[in-house]
Amino acid sequence: MKLFGRPLDYGKRKEKIGFLEFNLSITQKDGYEIEVEIENTENEPKFIKDLKIGEFEVSEKLFMNNYQSWGPCTFVKPQEMIKVMNGLSVNFAASPIPWEFKDGIVSDYFIADDKTFAGFLSSETTHPYFKWHDGIVDVKVYIGKSLKPHEKIKIEPLWVNDFSVLEDALELYANKVGELNMIKRSEPLFGWESWYSYYLNISQDSFLKELEKSSEIGMKYELFQIDDGYEKDVGDWLRTNEKFPEGLDFLSKKIKKSNMIPGIWTAPFSISETSSIFKYHKDFLVKDENGSPIVAYENWNKKIYAVDTSNPDALFWLGEIFSSLKSYGYEFFKIDFLFAGMIPGNRFLNVTPVEAYRMGMKKIADTVGNSHILGCGAPLIPSIGYVNSMRIGSDTSSNWNGTIDIGMPSAKYSIRNALSRNFMNKWWVNDPDCVMARSQDTGLTSKERMVNLYVPALLNGQFLESDFLDKLSDDDLHLMVGAFNFRKGRSNVRFLDGERYVIITKNSINGDIISFVNLSDSDWKDKVENYKNLLDKKVNEFFVLYPSMKNVKNEVKIDPHSVAIVMHRGKRNLRRDDEKEDDGRDIHYYWGEEYDGTKV
């Protein structure tokens, strides 16, 4: 890597480019840790857009990451990726810097090739990213505000290190990010939410029907959440539509009466063109150079604008929404489409988009206090410390949808990101999106359904189900209970490529597990021997394949779109008690003396 055209080396130095002076400090911390301070040396304000601070050559295959929840995190060949992107419109949902895709592709926050990992350790002021073009990666940051005369700002620290195992580099990176940022520690929740059963067709009656059914099937949900479809309009969050005549307070009380946590969905940084808040408070919106509100994205067949969270009045309005919802009794807040809060544009205060976004997140977090916040459609690293859990993949789907990997709803890529971003569970509880147990109203095969249910359980992330509960068969419920018994463990993921993964899970409800996840369209054979050293050896250890419970000799065959779960077992010592029955029979009772806590 070169910084400002000079080879990377330890020490301190200055660079001057135009009216900007750069103060560099490079130290040794498991590689190179680079800090950069920028100063506007002019006697007048200067607007700073994006800055390049370095570059390095890379191999043909890269591990790349999109900035927000729905975007991909996987291995790509940049030349092939550019062909996929050709003709597609890159909007703010895909990138806060869409212009950078005109002549290259972008990896946000971190990037790796076959030997070098580079990652920024925070995103509190700027948006840091890496741009690939012509075999070169530029190291860049987007600032997006004016610097006052002689004002200084610091770019987020950059960590660069060579590695032999990518997964180990990701774990070390996750630890470094965790050390530098405030983390909210939370436990994964088990619950039901409405989206993948009803979508926008949810009503008060149908929601209450599911609530009543939940108590009958005996799943013991901790959480019951209403998703999109209740609101009068996007932005008018406290006003319900005609399908919810008794309002949000009524729903919360009903959920609480069922001994579950009331949960609710909002998109707090989004304002619809038809909402009352748009009609009366255009001053709340991010604007272009001409003072017109900027369209952040389009959805619900409407133009959606972005809340300017640097505006004190807009922040007050946000606080009123969430304090009202909390007063109704809601304790779980799924906040969605959060990327809208970070689009570039003119704001009330002279702050960067990242600073504005964090002002909005802080307001929500401070307002709801110890309630649980699930971030979704969110810029990842800027959200650390404000969310308890975070969606880390695309929307799931009742179809496999394994074609275009650009963040569209897909059962395949939702699970893929849960695997490739598993290391992020050090920053929050990973949310792989909902699981679906249903065998009807789905395009998933039985093996794909097992992937959808068991991988989130093995990774011990959030476990939210979204089915029509009265349509679940006994076999469907049995499948979900089976998956549920693989939760509570600690997992790490090994990448074979972008479609084949091995999960090593320790101390789950069902003990230690080696799981082979095949997202590809081809058969795969592997050996337990290749991974058993990653587990703690048991006395006279052996392995069984779930759910058949047949012993595994060594080789495992994994079908396309499936997961093969291998349970690690050890010898159990039994004590025998003998009794003589009156009728002359000999009865022998066997008792486990060193039971290891696993269930079979």
Average pLDDT, the chain: 95
Catalytic residue among 395, 431, 433, 467: 395
Cβ neighbours of 555 (radius 10 Å): 10
| Gap between the Cα atoms of 147 and 144, Å rounded | 10
DSSP characters over 234-261: TTEEEEE-TT-TTHHHHHHHHHHHTTSE
CA torsion through residues 58, 113, 432, 440, sign? positive
Amino acid code (one letter) for 340: A
Catalytic residue among 50, 138, 228, 336: 336
| Gap between the Cα atoms of 554 and 563, Å rounded | 16
Token pair 């549920």 is found at 484
pLDDT at 593 > cutoff 50: no
Of residues 424 and 584, the one with the higher pLDDT is 424
Of the listed ranges 124-133, 457-466, 588-597, the least confidently predicted one is 588-597
Tell me which architecture the domain covering 190-391 has in CATH. Alpha-Beta Barrel (3.20)
pLDDT at 584 > cutoff 80: no
Counting Cβ atoms within 10 Å, is residue 317 exposed (0-12), middle (13-18) or buried (19+)? middle
Q: What are phi and psi of 338, to 5 degrees?
A: -70, -20
Residue 395 annotated as catalytic: yes
CA angle 296/411/446 to nearest 5° reads 160
pLDDT at 596: 45
**368-380: pLDDT as tens digits:** 999 999 999 999 9
Closest CA to 207 of 197, 221, 216, 217: 197
Which positions ≥6 away from 486 have C-beta within 8 Å? 454, 457, 458, 505, 508, 509, 510, 513, 565
What single DSSP character describes residue 148? Answer: P
Helix (H, G, I), strand (E, B) or coil at 269: coil
pLDDT at 588 > cutoff 90: no
pLDDT at 309 > cutoff 60: yes
Respond yes or no on whether the N-terminal peptide bond of residue 98 is cis (omega within 30° of 0). no
Token pair 């849960």 is found at 418
pLDDT at 594: 43
pLDDT at 3 > cutoff 90: yes
**36-51: pLDDT as tens digits:** 999 999 999 999 999 9
* pTM, 2 dp: 0.94
Counting Cβ atoms within 10 Å, is residue 426 exposed (0-12), middle (13-18) or buried (19+)? middle
Please, which pLDDT band fits residue 357 given cuts at 50, 70 and 90? very high
Amino acid code (one letter) for 83: K
Helix (H, G, I), strand (E, B) or coil at 206: helix
**444-487: pLDDT as tens digits:** 999 999 999 999 999 999 999 999 999 999 999 999 999 999 99
pLDDT at 576: 66
Of the listed ranges 221-235, 435-449, 450-464, 535-549, the least confidently predicted one is 535-549
Q: For the chain, give every domain's residue range.
A: 2-180, 190-391
pLDDT at 599 > cutoff 50: no
Average pLDDT of the residues in 169-181: 97
Residue 433 annotated as catalytic: no
